[in-house]
Every structure is written in structure tokens, then in C-alpha cells.
Amino acid sequence: MDAYERITRNAAEVVTEEEIEALADDPDGKRAYVGYEPSGVLHIGHMLTANKLIDLQEAGFEVTVLLADVHAYLNDKGSFEEIRHTAERMRDQFIAYGLDESNTQFVLGSDFQLDDDYTLDLHALELETTLARAERAMAEITSGDSVKVSQAVYPLMQALDIPYLGVDLAVGGMEQRKVHMLARDVLPSIDREPPTSLHTPLIADLGTGRGKMSSSAGVTISMEDSRDDIESKVNDAYCPPTADPEPTDDGVERENPVLQVFEYHVFPRFETVRVERPAEYGGDLEYDGYDALEADLESGELHPADAKGALAEYLDRLIAPGREQLAE
């Protein structure tokens, strides 16, 4: 796999392809980053962008993980003290998950976001941005109903992080795309380059196949889960046997989260996936790529129950080092 393919595999969107091609031509010494509001324990949403950071490290990039304590505070996630404490725990979780420690820089937002220059640049961006635009950028990030001033400041700070961290590539889930588009538009007004970004897909809720899998609602997988927890969540997951899931009452399309987790979590980290089956059901299956597994599930060759058994096994392997780290 060449550098461009590794950088862009499983991405929902890159902005722009030409800019990513230029980075892929000479990735050594280039830096990519993801920012996370600290939550202490990694969950499957963090793991998705972390997989992309691992791809980028394998392609030659250096990586910054921003533990965005000030952003979490602005997003009403608790007292600043609590958030700081949670941020400390997250660092070791990322390393346990598989980020290359020798090449990952962890930065707390508050290490630079309270400096004079940053603050003045932030005010310059505030002058350039309408409240409506800032609010739109946050539509998929905040949960609260009423819009606070903090939510208008938040995306402007996220935009400003990019030049202040000196990164060449901003990575995030699709819910971050409007913030990155805002950054492309406003950063030139303070003589900074419009940033290049890459967005990972959103994975549907494991239980229902709808919406977005997150830790706050619905079923998610986290580094705190025991093997039994993982097995029971995966066993209860929505996994229609064919490509044509039944229409729902409200007409909202459902995804197959079991397939999505195979595609975005398991195959990027394991070269081959083995599905164990008793001999009377055809014996074990082995896949060296996602497409073949999807085709077998859709044709009926692979039963959802067998796919789920394998999924629980591989998720457990991904989570076990983080679980052990938490027990320390």
C-alpha cells in the first residue's frame, strides 16, 4: 500500500485531494493531529480516529494528540480541575491502544490556548465570524439546546489550534468537518494557511444501526469493557443478514454496525481475520480483507452469529491492553 492509499483508506472525506497528495509525496517530518475533549477512558469513537493516526504514523507522519481541556470546559463537560485530571488518564490509554509512543506528542490545550498571542488571534477571528456561522459549525458537536457564547468561541479556538500546533493535517470525525471548513475560510484573514483536513466516517449505534455511536447515548464499546461486556454488546448488535435492511417505521435508513466495526476497526489493525465455526457448519473461515467478509455476510455464506463471535474476539484483542492499563 503506498503512502497516499494508507493515508486516505477508510476516510469519508479529504479536503483537498491535491493537498493530501502533496503530503503523501513527502510525508517524513509532516505532522497530523486530532483533538479530543478529555473523557479519561477511550471509547470506540476515539479508537476510530486513533486508527487513522496509526495509519499516518505508518506512512511517516509525526502525530500530535491534543487533549482539549479548554474545549471540554467550553462544552460544559465539568469543572476545569476534573477535566484536567481526566486528560492525564487519556494519554496512557492512547499508547496502550497502539499509538507509537516515540512519535506521538501529547499537548494540553491549556498549555498554549491561554497565552496572550493566542487570545488576541482568537479575538481577531471573532471579528471575522458571524454568530450564525460559528453556531452552524458546532451543530454536530454540542449536545445542549440553548446556544451559549462559549459554543461560538469553541470552533474558532479549534481553528486556531491548527497554526498554533504547527500541524500539516487536521484529522477528525465527520462531525468536525464544519469546524475545519470554517478554519479554511477564516484563518487566511489572520495570514495563516487554510488547513488540510481528513474526516473519518461516523459509525452507527451498535444496538440499533441508527445515528452515531457515542458514549453518551446508545451502546458503545469502551476500554473499560470486560470480555463478557463486549460479547454481550456485540451479540445484541443490529446485524441484518442481507444488504437490504428492513425499512424502519420512521423511514430512517439503518447501517449495519457489525460490518462497520469490522471495516473501520478490525481490518485496519489485523491482516487476517479468522471466523471460527464448527465443522458441521462449514468449518473456520479466513478473510484477508473486509470486502470478502461483507460479501459472505450478504450472500448468507457467513451467519451473523458467527460474524459476531469473531467481532467480539478481535475487539477484545484491541481493547485488552487499554483495559490492563486501567487496572494498573
Candidates 23, 48, 63, 66: give the one binding ligand IYR (CB under 6 A): 66
Closest approach of Cβ 141 to ligand IYR, in Å?
5
Q: What is the DSSP string of 306-325?
A: HHHHHHHHHHHHHHHHHHHH
Binding mask 146-165 for ligand IYR (x = CB under 6 A): ------------x--x----
* Residues 6, 179, 175, 111, CA torsion sign: positive
- Residue 35 as a binder of ligand IYR (CB under 6 A): the answer is yes
- C-alpha to C-alpha distance for 50 and 44, rounded to whole angstroms: 10
- C-alpha to C-alpha distance for 32 and 169, rounded to whole angstroms: 5
- Residue 168 as a binder of ligand IYR (CB under 6 A): the answer is no
Candidates 172, 195, 209, 257: give the one binding ligand IYR (CB under 6 A): 172
Cell 479556538 identifies what position?
157
- Residue 36 as a binder of ligand IYR (CB under 6 A): the answer is yes
Closest approach of Cβ 326 to ligand IYR, in Å?
21
Closest approach of Cβ 316 to ligand IYR, in Å?
26
- C-alpha to C-alpha distance for 184 and 178, rounded to whole angstroms: 10
Cα angle at 67 between 10 and 101, to 5 degrees?
70
Segment contacting ligand IYR by CB under 6 A, of 34-42, 188-196, 218-226, 235-243: 34-42
- C-alpha to C-alpha distance for 72 and 126, rounded to whole angstroms: 19
- C-alpha to C-alpha distance for 288 and 274, rounded to whole angstroms: 9
Name which of 36 and 264 has its Cβ closer to ligand IYR.
36
Closest approach of Cβ 176 to ligand IYR, in Å?
6
- C-alpha to C-alpha distance for 109 and 107, rounded to whole angstroms: 6
Among the listed residues 169, 52, 74, the one whose alpha carbon sits nearest the alpha carbon of residue 122: 74
Q: Which residues pair with 62 in a beta bridge?
A: 31
Neighbours of 113 (CB within 10 A): 20
> Using CB atoms, what's the residue nearest to ligand IYR?
35
Candidates 6, 30, 52, 71: give the one binding ligand IYR (CB under 6 A): 71
- 118 annotated ligand-binding residue: no
Query: Are residues 290 and 267 in contact, defined by beta-carbon separation less than 8 angstroms?
Result: yes
Candidates 6, 8, 37, 164: give the one binding ligand IYR (CB under 6 A): 37
Positions 173 through 202 that interact with ligand IYR (CB under 6 A): 176
Name which of 142 and 256 has its Cβ closer to ligand IYR.
142
- Known binding positions for ATP: 215
Question: Which positions touch ligand IYR (CB under 6 A)?
Answer: 34-37, 66, 68, 71, 141, 158, 161, 170, 172, 176
Positions at the binding site: 33, 154, 158, 161, 176, 215
